[in-house]
Amino acid sequence: MSRSVPNDPINETTTPTPQPDNPVRQTTSPSVQDTSNQGISEQDAPCEEISEQQTPARAANTDRRVLGIVGKVLGWLLAILGVILFASSIWVTKTFGPVNVHQLLANLPSVNGGGGNGDPETIRSYFVEAVAIPVALLAALGCFYYVAVHRIRQRSPHGWFARHRGVISALLSLALFAGGTTSMASSIRLAAYIRGIFTEETLANYYKEPVILSEPIEKKNLVIIYLESMDDAFGQEEIMGEDLLRSLDESTQGWASIDLLQNNPYYGYTMGGVVDSMCGTPPKPADGMVITEAPDGANNQIGDGEQSFMPSAVCLGDILRGSGYSNVYMGGAPSSFANKGMFLRTHGYDTVIGRDEWVAAGETELSGWGLSDRRLFEEAKLTVKELHDAEQPFTFTTITLDNHSPVHDFGHCPDISGGLERSTLRCQSEIVADFIDYMKGEGILEDTVVVVMADHLAFTSASVAEYKMDMRSEEQEQLPLYNRIWSPDGVEFARTEGINANMYPTMLELLGYELQDGRAGVGVAFQVPATTVAGQRTILDLNFDDLANLFNSSSSDLYRELWKPREEQEVPTGQAGTLNEVPASGAVTNQAPAPKMDPTKNP
């Protein structure tokens, strides 16, 4: 039987009605959570916007800092380059006088010792005077400038100068660079160089290979003495205060001279003077400028990387060798300098002796440039006597060295003329005069033409050249070169003014060769009156400015032909020549024996 259970109030009160778990959390959690998320979102949104705005700003600031650093570095580089260029222009003018781009490039010291102006003192002088001192001064001024800028910014951080200091610094750097570039361009005549690249003028219009109408029956010998850096003024007492060339003038008394023999306005250095006077045209590479395609390892000299030097040019040595002459060169300097040896061997010289050969022979009276003139001319006496006794026509060529700047004191020249350079000139004059007197005494001058001439003018850095320091470069270039000329048949010149390119045909005519119109290369023999060639295109019609434009032209149409191997050469259109009549170097074998060098003859 079932039993009913009455309602239990306790059970009713204690038995809970089913409720969701944590009703408060359930009812409040969503509300709180939403409020919390909404608060976070409202607070983070501006931060995210600021962060997005700051990122490109921060990048822009970084870019500005990088550009600022680059600008400062570039500014300093421009300033440094500017002061070096400015100082270099002063150094070049002070050391060498008027120069051009061709001379600068062809005479730069080469890293592998092949040439250029390799005198250690000259190189040291450049780095001290044109690099170290100017850069040190610029650094000192730069420090002063930045200290001044810092103080101005402290006093007036928002002033005009503080706000524009970057522009001012940039302008200062540009001004230094522009000033240095302009000064250097002026000192090396960059404008003439650029004009020469684009001008339509060319030496080919004036160049003519020598046409020999007749040769002498009795051949005379030829002695050529190039005097290093020899201005005609050095023998003028009214300019120098003393005739520094008195001995030479006395030994050549009665000899002829060309009153105004000048450098050509392109290349006033030894190789320029030698090549110009022997070939009637200055040395240039195949492209007509000192910009060659020489192989790797070659230096900056004209002819580097070549096996021969302007092989298709017909020069003095080529013609004489083809006529049976024995051609000998003796010099104190290295024959490799400026590829002088290559040039001489290419153009008919059988024997070429330079510094290396003297050292090998045991000579010790040497400077950085080479063998002293005293020893050179002692050996020259023996060589000329030997050549003359062989009773075969010969050419003997030499170049003095003692007064090459910087002058070396060999210890045998007393300083009685007011300094080493002046005394060296006087002693060199005595040495050459003694050589000439020796030839007179041996009877050599009875059948020998002698040409004594400067290779180029003295550099303005030489103390003996102070007389022209105040002259404009154009005036300096047109000063006369020292020259004296002897022939047993006498000498008569129809003209007394012209550049040394005219010496090439002049020497041939002195030896008895009759040239068509007296022309060879771009030169016209001084024996030929200007009226004889009046209807032809010659350099005699040109003033100095026109000559400068002509000789600074690239003339690549001519030089491409002159640098071809002889069998490939073609005479430029309209030019008559006798190239095929002149044997290539080595074709003549009936030569006198090469002179012997005896180191035991050293006094």
Q: Residues 14-24, buried b or exposed e (16+ Cβ, 10 A)?
A: eeeeeeeeeee
Q: Are residues 243 and 169 in the same domain?
A: no
Judging by beta carbons within 10 Å of its beta carbon (0-12, 13-18, 19+), is residue 418 exposed, middle or buried?
A: middle
Do you find a cis peptide bond into 406, omega within 30 degrees of 0?
A: yes
Q: Are residues 146 and 273 in the same domain?
A: no
CATH number, position 445: 3.40.720.10
> In this structure, is residue 300 part of a structural domain?
no
Structure tokens at 414: 């007393």
CA distance 450 to 481: 16
> In which residue are the tokens 């104190």 written?
332
Write the CB contacts of 317 (distance below 8 Å, at least 6 apart in sequence). 278, 327, 344, 347, 348, 349, 395
**Domain-ending residue, one of 188, 213, 243:** 188
| pLDDT tens per residue, range 194-209 | 776 777 889 999 999 9
For every residue of 372-427, DSSP letters joined together read: -HHHHHHHHHHHHHHHHHTTS-EEEEEE--TTSSSPP--S-S---SSSHHHHHHHH
CA distance 362 to 369: 16
DSSP state of 98: S
Residues of the domain holding 65: 33-188
For the chain, percent of residues with pLDDT exceeding 90: 46
> How many structural domains comprise the chain?
2
> In this structure, is residue 554 part of a structural domain?
no
| pLDDT tens per residue, range 357-416 | 999 999 999 998 899 999 999 999 999 999 999 999 999 999 999 998 788 899 999 998
Residue 578 or residue 538, greater confidence: 538
> In this structure, is residue 105 part of a structural domain?
yes
Q: Are residues 181 and 229 in the same domain?
A: no
Helix 133-155 with 23-96: angle, nearest 10 deg: 140
> In this structure, is residue 552 part of a structural domain?
no
> In this structure, is residue 100 part of a structural domain?
yes
Neighbours of 543 (CB within 10 A): 7
CA distance 380 to 600: 15
Residues 293 and 245 sit within 8 Å (Cβ to Cβ): no
| pLDDT tens per residue, range 522-535 | 999 999 999 999 99
| pLDDT tens per residue, range 246-267 | 999 999 999 999 999 998 887 7
Distance of CA 22 to the CA centre of its chain: 101
> In this structure, is residue 41 part of a structural domain?
yes
Neighbours of 240 (CB within 10 A): 20
**Domain-ending residue, one of 188, 216, 234:** 188
For the chain, percent of residues with pLDDT exceeding 70: 75
Whole-model pTM: value is 0.75
Neighbours of 48 (CB within 10 A): 9
Mean pLDDT is lowest, of 316-325, 487-496, 549-558, for 549-558
Q: Are residues 165 and 277 in the same domain?
A: no
Q: Are residues 104 and 40 in the same domain?
A: yes
| pLDDT tens per residue, range 323-363 | 999 999 999 999 988 899 999 999 999 999 999 999 999 99
Q: Are residues 131 and 244 in the same domain?
A: no
